Amino acid sequence: MRVNRRNIGMFAVMALLITAVGVFQSWSVALAILNLCLISAIMSLGVNIQWGYAGLLNVGVMGFAALGGLAGVLVSMPPVTAAWQAGGSEVIVAVFILAITLIAGVYFYHRFRRNPLRRILVTSVIGIVGFLAFRSFLDPAVGAIEAVDAAKTGYLGGMGLPILLSWIVGGIFAAGAAWIIGKIALGLRSDYLAIATLGISEIVIAILKNEDWLTRGVKNVNGLPRPVPYEIELQQSELFRSIAADWGMSLIGLSSIVVKLCYAGLFTVVLLMVLWFSEKALRSPWGRMMRAIRDNETAAEAMGKNVTGRHLQVFVLGSAVIGLAGAMLTTLDGQFTPASYQPLRFTFLIWVMVIVGGSGNNWGAILGGFVIWFFWIEAEPLGLWLMDVITSGMDSNSWLRMHLLKSAAHMRLMTMGVILLLVLRFSPKGLIPER
Amino acid sequence: MTFLLGKDMTGGYGGADILHDCTIGVEKGEIAVVVGPNGAGKSTAMKAVFGMLNLRQGHVEMDGEDITSLSPQDRVKKGMGFVPQTSNVFTSMTVQENLEMGAFIRDDDIVPTMEQVFDLFPILQEKRDQPAGELSGGQRQQVAVGRALMTRPKILMLDEPTAGVSPIVMDELFDRIIEIAKTGIAILMVEQNAKQALNIADKGYVLVQGRNRFTDTGEALLGNPDVRRAFLGG
Amino acid sequence: MEGFLNALVLLSNFLVIPGLAYGCQLALGALGVTLIYGILRFSNFAHGETMAFGTMVTILATWWLKSSGVTLGPLPIALLALPAGIFAAIILCLTTDKLVYRFYREKKSNPVIFLIASLGVMFFYNGLIRFVIGPSDQIFTDGERFILTVKEFRESTGLVEGLAIRTTQGITVVTAVIIVAALFWFLNRTRTGKSMRAYSDNEDLALLSGINPDRVVLIAWALTAIVATVAGTLYGLDKSFKPFTYLQLLLPIFASAIVGGLGNPVGAIAGGFIIAFSEVSITFAYKKLLTYLVPESWAPEGLVQLLSTDYKFAVSFAILVLVLLIKPTGIFSGKSL
């Protein structure tokens, strides 16, 4: 890679900003921001693979990230034996029926390609019968499972494996969902993919919120195992105590920083790996072909390129990266909270990152992830402070002042919208333009 | 003094020049036909006259006035009617609505003009409430020509009006075009069917690679052995 | 016989009437999406927020009217406040077009760029709405609650099942019919309306005919603002106003517009009702209905509900997927693939 002073400069400024937070606010806050910056950067890389490489609009980032989070639960939580005994086998049968239904449906859908009436009839009969059979096994099992110690479990639990494994599984989950959506909506006009992804993400969230037997729904899954040591373990270790004493830091403060640093290390490794693969792919013949297709679909098609097939590949890959980031986020949080998935935060904010960073450029996507996340977090205290200054002339009890101060938090949504629009218009190539 | 004249036109769509010192024109009440092999720049020459591409050299004048710098919309207001080769009707709208849209820039009563169009193309009156997209190819061309006539143009420009219609419909259309010319309208037409078109032409232009190769009356061009051998298939 | 009548009443009360009202709201919403798609040729993701914005101003005007002691008898004051909401939404849409979309139109940008710009606009509107009125629920309906109450119905018919028609449901249907009739009259009977259809059908030919594109775009935004505000206000009256719900409405609205055929107004209305009735009937619990129709011994144990109401978005999505698979141009063949 050619060394570019301007780009390095921008990353340096970013590092400086985070350091400033560390110095002026606290190192714990700075590291918390850094960790989420790293995850945002990976999500933004995922969207960039889809949009920047191939011009595909994914408006369902939230759903793919949530699927990654689900993987965190299903892989790492210990299985709830009582729940499995209560309804495990029925659930397995139900899932099996669902799978058979889908396979049969798709098979007959393709089989009767030439007979539209029979095609619709047979496929819908299979769908309805399969769905009823699925429900007849699932419904009783759900009741039994959710009755098992509802306050603490009430779900099947996971597989009790190391949570790091869920990062891969999360990617696979998201890739699977992307494959299905891509099969349906790719090859049609580009808006349709956007709307279809919007739909699937809403449905994924609805499932995660309502299927308590799987995810405990809005009761949340807490206490996910960690890939890094717990603060309390550190505080008890002799070595750690002596270091803290030497450096003159509080045990709690130092342990929290060390834990966050461990996460940051893990995330950086993943980010670098994803970046390395993305750059390799972009510079490969495959990447060149992708960009050729993006820039002139008709010409590429005329040259015998399977445009829809390539798009499906890139869409699945990008979604897998988003799923991976989603699993990492759940790992960092240590809990899975379906209600926290909001489209503004998980879909549209990521889009701002990609557009601001520079679509088509992986370094740009990373920088965008850092800048926008940093701003998103710091805009809240900043906005409040700004509002406080603006309204300082008013009577401290006036309703307008109270309202403005209370609403200051929503200003960052407006700011994000304005940033997106300004960049799109005046600097459509973003901070680091595509090469 | 030709009524409509595109003189020494040189230009293209932004890349290399397609037209080189090309001149075409037409008198009131006459039919001028532009013919030539594929890629000769026939349609481009007509679009240049209509202001749809930027000329590097040359100019377009109408009735003695230089209109080179006018936009196509302004040329429509000056009395030019243009019938594009493809998608030249509003498919989702009825025949009558198509004609109304043709007259959009007029503020006066358009009913008499519409009656004239219906007199010229009786089938359109019959199908006035049908969506234009449901009509046959020949009928659609009639709608397209009718739409252009609704502005009461002084010049009617037709880009391959008979593309994709059967020979019988083609003869029918040419008859109508002659009738239109008889009302005093100048007709400038690009045609693929060179022989039939030159038959009805007062003036013919043979273009090759964006340049004028032969220019004469239709009759003379048909009689010219060079033209016959090279462009009319013997 | 009485069992059958009871079943019929039950079905009307819980399925037909709510479906009709919801269908009207979706149809109006989808009309806005389809108008913008037909004229500006992009899917406007900010449409849900446009609806929310118009509704918000209507609510503010309602509060103001209420505080000045205005009443509208049995009808909600919001109807009187509606013009204010519409006016504000028109101003907002036109300003947005001038500041954002016009630039890309002049550059003849790819529709995808418009779409991304609309994401930015959505973000901005969203913040604006939350900034002004806050993210929480607002109930702003007043006046008479019911046109027909369960009690009145039971007393007059002697049936066990009751039928209620809420005022908001009645208003929804009546207003939607008026707005749709006016819109179709405008599009099919007036010169300006026809010129908009012409522009949507064939932009180049419309330009050749001397139709002014700026004017067409301006009217398209104004019409969109009107139907969006009406749709949003009716939805808010019928249910409640919560900014987040309007973001979620985007999916069923887009589904309605695509099912009917993007760019086709008739299709948008048909699509709205298809989606609404599918949603209501698939998430309806048929248990009670069956108890009226079948002998007691056959009565089902469960709720006989195909999907819980939490999955109503899955219904619009499923229909959307079916249409994309079978006929991507929609039932009424919209503009493009």
Greatest mean pLDDT among A238-252, B142-156, C296-310 lies in B142-156
User: Which sign does the torsion angle of CA A286, A291, A294, A296 carry?
Assistant: negative
Which of C219, C214, C227 is closest to C191 using CA atoms? Answer: C219
Q: Residue C325 in contact with residue A184, Cβ under 8 Å? A: yes
CB contacts < 8 Å between A and C, how many?
A: 136
Q: Which residues of B touch C195 (CB under 8 A)?
A: 101, 104
Cβ–Cβ gap B76/C201 under 8 Å: no
Q: Looking at this protein, which amino acid is placed at residue C315?
A: V
B217: DSSP letter:
-
- Which residues of chain A have a pLDDT value below 70? 1-3
Instruction: Copy the structure tokens of residue B151.
Output: 């502005």
Arithmetic mean of pLDDT, C39-58? 95
**Which residues numbered 80-109 in A keep a CB inside 8 Å of some CB on C?**
109
With CA atoms as reference, the chain C residue closest to A127 would be C318
Query: Under a CB-based contact definition with an 8 Å cutoff, are residues B131 and C333 in contact?
Result: no
pLDDT band at C335 (very low <50, low <70, confident <90, very high): low
What is the DSSP code string of C230-285? Answer: HHHHHHHHHS-B-HHHHHHHHHHHHHHHHHH-TT-HHHHHHHHHHHHHHHHHHS-B
CATH number of A5-79+157-388+398-426: 1.10.3470
Quick one: pLDDT at residue A2?
52
* Partner A contacted by C190 (CB < 8 A): no
Output C70 or A62, whichever has higher pLDDT. A62
Q: If you average pLDDT over residues B148-166, what whole number do you get?
A: 90
Work out the minimum CA distance from C2 to partner chain A, whole angstroms. Answer: 30
Backbone angles phi, psi at C88, to 5 degrees: -60, -40
Cα-trace Rg, chain A: 24
Do C220 and C40 meet the contact criterion of CB atoms below 8 Å apart? yes
Model confidence over C155-168: pLDDT tens digits?
Answer: 888 888 888 899 99
What does chain B come to in residues? 234
Enumerate helices (H) and strands (E) in chain C, giving the number of each. Answer: 15, 2
How close is the nearest chain A Cα to the Cα of C189, in Å?
A: 31
pTM passes above 0.80: yes
Rounded Cα–Cα distance for residues A3 and C271 (Å):
55
Give A418's contacts in chain C (Cβ within 8 Å).
120, 124
- CA C180, C79, C278, A57 torsion: positive or negative? positive
For chain A, domain boundaries:
5-79+157-388+398-426
Answer yes or no: are the C-beta atoms of A177 and A204 closer than 8 Å: yes
Q: Evaluate whether chains A and C are touching (3 or more beta carbon pairs less than 8 Å apart).
A: yes
Q: Which amino acid is at C204?
A: D
- Up-side HSE of residue C275: CA atoms within 13 Å toward CB? 40
Six-digit token pair at C146? Answer: 């019911």
Contact by Cβ (8 Å): C275, C255 = yes
Say how far apart CA A157 and CA A154 lie, in whole Å: 9
- What phi and psi, each to the nearest 5 degrees, are found at residue B66? -80, 120
Beta-bridge partner residues of A221: A336
The Cα B112–Cα B61 span in angstroms is 30
Ordered DSSP codes for B119-185: HH-HHHHHTTTSBGGGS-HHHHHHHHHHHHHTT--SEEEEESTTTT--HHHHHHHHHHHHHHHHTT-
Going by C-alpha positions, the residue among A53, A39, A7 that lies closest to residue A274 is A39
Strand order in the sheet with B55-62: B19-26, B4-11, B55-62, B65-66
Q: What is the pLDDT of residue C306?
A: 81
Q: Which of B46, B152, B177, B176 lies closest to B102, judged by CA?
A: B152
Report pLDDT digits (tens) over B46-69.
Answer: 999 998 888 888 999 998 899 998
Residue C208 has its nearest CB partner, among B72, B92, B97, at B72
Which tens digits make up the pLDDT trace of C175-190? 999 999 999 999 999 9
CB pairs under 8 A between B and C: 55
The SS3 call for residue C153 is helix
The region of weakest confidence among A135-139, C270-274, C331-335 is C331-335
How many other C-beta atoms lie within 10 A of the C-beta of residue A403? Answer: 15
Residue type for position A139: D
* Cβ separation A407–C112 shorter than 8 A: no
Q: Per CATH, is C2-326 categorized as 1.10.3470?
A: yes
Q: What is the pLDDT of residue A229?
A: 86
On the question of pLDDT at C337 being above 60, the answer is no
Q: B97, C191: Cβ pair inside 8 Å? A: no
Q: Please, which chains are in contact with A (at least 3 CB pairs closer than 8 A)?
A: C
Q: Is B23 within 8 Å of B7 (Cβ atoms)?
A: yes
Closest C-alpha among A124, A154, A158, A122 to residue A141: A154
The Cα of C179 is separated from the nearest Cα of chain B by a number of Å equal to 22
SS3 assignment, position B83: strand
A148: contact with C, CB 8 A cutoff: no
Q: Which pLDDT score is estimated for A261?
A: 93
Q: In this structure, how many other beta carbons lie within 10 angstroms of the beta carbon of residue A140?
A: 15
pLDDT at B228: 86
A190-218 per-residue burial string, b: 16 or more CB within 10 A, e: under 16: bbbbbbbbbbbbbbbbbbbbbbbbbbbbe
CA C197 to CA A393: how far, in whole Å? Answer: 53
With CB atoms and an 8 Å threshold, state whether C127 touches A415. Answer: yes
- Asked if C201's CB is within 8 angstroms of B92's CB, the reply is yes
Length of chain A: 435
Three-state SS string across A340-368, please?
Answer: HCCHHHHHHHHHHHHHHHCCCCHHHHHHH
Q: What's the mean pLDDT in C276-302?
A: 83
User: Tens of pLDDT along A75-96?
Assistant: 999 998 888 888 888 999 999 9
Per-residue confidence at C329, pLDDT binned at 50, 70, 90? confident
Region for residue B187 given its phi and psi (left: phi exceeds 0; alpha: psi -120 to 50; beta: otherwise): beta
Per-residue pLDDT band for C169 (boundaries 50, 70, 90) equals very high
Q: Would you list the domain boundaries of chain C? A: 2-326
**A187–chain C Cβ distance below 8 A for any pair:** no
- As a whole number of angstroms, the distance between CA B232 and CA B222 comes to 8
Rounded distance, CA B160 to CA B44, Å?
12
Q: Cβ separation of C201 and B97 shorter than 8 Å?
A: no
Give the closest-approach CA distance of C144 to chain A in angstroms.
Answer: 32
3-class state of residue B234 by DSSP: coil
Nearest CA among A289, A312, A316 for reference residue A301:
A289
Please, which pLDDT band fits residue B234 given cuts at 50, 70 and 90?
Answer: low
Asked if pLDDT for residue C5 goes beyond 80, the answer is: yes
What local confidence, expressed as pLDDT, does residue C139 receive? 86
What is the mean pLDDT of the segment spanning B178-192? 92
Residues 206-245 of C with CB under 8 A from A: none
pLDDT of residue C336: 43
Q: Is the pLDDT assigned to residue C73 strictly greater than 80?
A: yes
Taking the Cβ of residue B71 and every Cβ of chain C, the question of whether any pair is shorter than 8 Å is answered with no
> Would you call A297 an interface residue with chain C, using a CB distance cutoff of 8 Å?
no
Q: Which of A207, A224, A75, A216 is nearest to A153 (CA)?
A: A216
Neighbours of chain B (3+ CB pairs under 8 A): C
The whole-angstrom separation of Cα A78 and Cα A153 is 11
pLDDT value, residue A235 = 85
Q: Which SS3 state, helix, strand or coil, does residue B204 take?
A: strand
Name residue, tokens 């399969």: A130
C chain contacts of residue A109, beta-carbon cutoff 8 Å: 325
A26: closest CA among A243, A260, A236?
A260
Cβ contact A332:A262 at 8 Å? no
Q: Are strands B55-62 and B4-11 parallel, antiparallel or unpaired?
A: antiparallel
* Residues of chain C with C-beta less than 8 angstroms from the C-beta of A120: 326
The secondary structure of chain A, three-state, reads CCCCHHHHHHHHHHHHHHHHHHHHCCHHHHHHHHHHHHHHHHHHHHHHHHHHHHCCCCCCHHHHHHHHHHHHHHHHCCECHHHHHHHHHHHHHHHHHHHHHHHHHHHHHHHCCCCHHHHHHHHHHHHHHHHHHHHHHHHHHHHHHHHCCCCCCCCCECCCCCCHHHHHHHHHHHHHHHHHHHHHHCCCCHHHHHHHHHHHHHHHHHHHHHCHHHHCHHHCECCCCCCCCCHHHHHHCHHHHHHHHHHCCCHHHHHHHHHHHHHHHHHHHHHHHHHHHHHHHHHCHHHHHHHHHHHCHHHHHHCCCCHHHHHHHHHHHHHHHHHHHHHHHHHHHCCECHHHCCHHHHHHHHHHHHHHHCCCCHHHHHHHHHHHHHHHHHHHHHHHHHHHHHHHHCCCCCHHHHHHHHHHHHHHHHHHHHHHHHHHHHCCCCCCCCC
Q: Of B118, B4, B120, whose CA–CA distance to B61 is shortest?
A: B4
